[in-house]
Amino acid sequence: MSKELIRLSNCSMAFDGEYVLKDINLYFNDKEFLTLLGPSGCGKTTTLRIIGGFQKPTSGDVFFDGVRINDVLPHKRAVNTIFQKYALFPHLNVYENIAFGLKLQRQNGKKLSKAEISGRVSEMLDVVSLKGFEKRDVTSLSGGQQQRVAIARALVNRPKVLLLDEPLGALDMRLRKDMQSELKRIQQATGITFIYVTHDQEEALAMSDTVVVMEGGAIQQIGTPEDIYNEPKNAFVADFIGESNILDGIMHSDGVVELFGRKFQCLDGGFSPMEPVDVVIRPEDIDIVDAAEGTLKGTVASITFRGVLYDIIVDFHGFKWLIQTTDLSPIGTEIGIKIDPDGIHIMKKSEFSGMYGDYSSFSDKYDDIGDAESELELEEAEGGYET
């Protein structure tokens, strides 16, 4: 059973009267890899600083193991932080950088012994795969190696929790990917709770047990990477995580939604009859078929080769969808599409409705969607549901 370690209870943060965090309620389990994910300025670092004790919340409480720690100073918390600019000591070698914190530590008023320090540094060098690098000047290391020294330096103090603020931001793509698996491995090997901050959704999905999506100083959704991707709570989350076509729909009844004047089967329910909803359809969940056989007809507007798949933009009455497919249809071709019920995900309308989801620069035409052709299609579609 996972055990709750840290809790933020109704935490708000204001600077000069302006709220940048609004009533955050969040708990972190022991040994969990939890990621705070959101765009720049959404409040990720501020949340981390409150946990680390570098910032006192304007209102609300922070608990560690059930004990309120609002007034506990950062170095008295069982928490260590790796900041984005991790600032190794340039005049110290790898060993001395990692040993630095241990040399300052006192146990029962006594310094740690040389043997104890050396044993713990050696253990950490093993964890971050830097055995043999002890004497190396940190300035002579690659970015990824420096990053691993920073991790070892934080872990050697045996914190219960490690806070990591965009720790891979400075690395190139390849190294970033390597370090993602490395961090995940270290987290699993040490059993330390990781609270990780990133604005990179792929990174968040790849590494985390739990993802917390933030925007505007508020939590938008908490869940496993699969939950967040498959069941986004609102248009913001759907847009921020992965690629999504987000459309206006009308829920006719449980399992039946109207899009572009046509009825589609879906798996969601629990909405009021004829309730307006946001509908998210992932580009990989759309099947291309002959125009005559499609539930909807559209015209291929552009094609981008992505290696395994093509990204194609298809124009449906001026609303542009992204479809990912292995079938190539030339630009200008009229195609049909079909969507399985489990490829259609229904969301409640929210403050983010209408802000995202169309893959064109001239989505204003979408307003004209209730044209004659669509009305006709709605009539034709009455009675039979598409599958």
Ligand X SMILES: Nc1ncnc2c1ncn2[C@@H]1O[C@H](COP(=O)(O)OP(=O)(O)OP(=O)(O)O)[C@@H](O)[C@H]1O
Binding mask 46-75 for ligand X (x = CB under 6 A): x-----------------------------
For ligand X, the binding residue among 24, 26, 32, 43 (CB under 6 A) is: 43
Torsion of CA 88, 92, 94, 99, to 10 degrees: -90
* Residue among 232, 278, 323, 172 at smallest CA distance from 37: 232
Measured between alpha carbons, how far is 268 from 251 in angstroms, rounded to an integer? Answer: 9
Output the smallest distance, CB 147 to Mg ion, in A: 17
Number of residues engaging ligand X in binding (CB under 6 A): 11
For ligand X, the binding residue among 7, 14, 19, 20 (CB under 6 A) is: 20
Is 220 one of the binding residues for ligand X (CB under 6 A)?
no
Is 17 one of the binding residues for ligand X (CB under 6 A)?
no
Is 40 one of the binding residues for ligand X (CB under 6 A)?
yes
326's contact among Mg ion, ligand X, none, with CB below 5 to 8 A by partner kind, is none
Instruction: Pick the closer one to ligand X by CB: 20 or 112.
Output: 20
Output the smallest distance, CB 162 to ligand X, in A: 17
Is 35 one of the binding residues for Mg ion (CB under 5 A)?
no
Instruction: Pick the closer one to Mg ion by CB: 93 or 208.
Output: 208
Is 14 one of the binding residues for ligand X (CB under 6 A)?
no
Q: Identify residues 185-214 at the interface with ligand X (CB under 6 A).
A: 199
Output the smallest distance, CB 168 to Mg ion, in A: 13
Instruction: Pick the closer one to ligand X by CB: 167 or 298.
Output: 167
Instruction: Pick the closer one to ligand X by CB: 194 or 316.
Output: 194
Binding mask 150-189 for ligand X (x = CB under 6 A): ----------------------------------------
Q: Give the residue nearest to Mg ion (CB).
A: 45
Residues 265 and 345: beta-carbon distance below 8 Å: no
210's contact among Mg ion, ligand X, none, with CB below 5 to 8 A by partner kind, is none
Instruction: Pick the closer one to ligand X by CB: 20 or 218.
Output: 20
Measured between alpha carbons, how far is 361 from 379 in angstroms, rounded to an integer? Answer: 31
For Mg ion, the binding residue among 35, 45, 80, 147 (CB under 5 A) is: 45
Applying CB under 6 A, which part among 40-48, 154-162, 295-303, 369-377 lies near ligand X? 40-48
Instruction: Pick the closer one to ligand X by CB: 199 or 317.
Output: 199
Is 45 one of the binding residues for ligand X (CB under 6 A)?
yes
Binding site for Mg ion (CB under 5 A): 45
Binding site for ligand X (CB under 6 A): 15, 20, 38, 40-46, 199
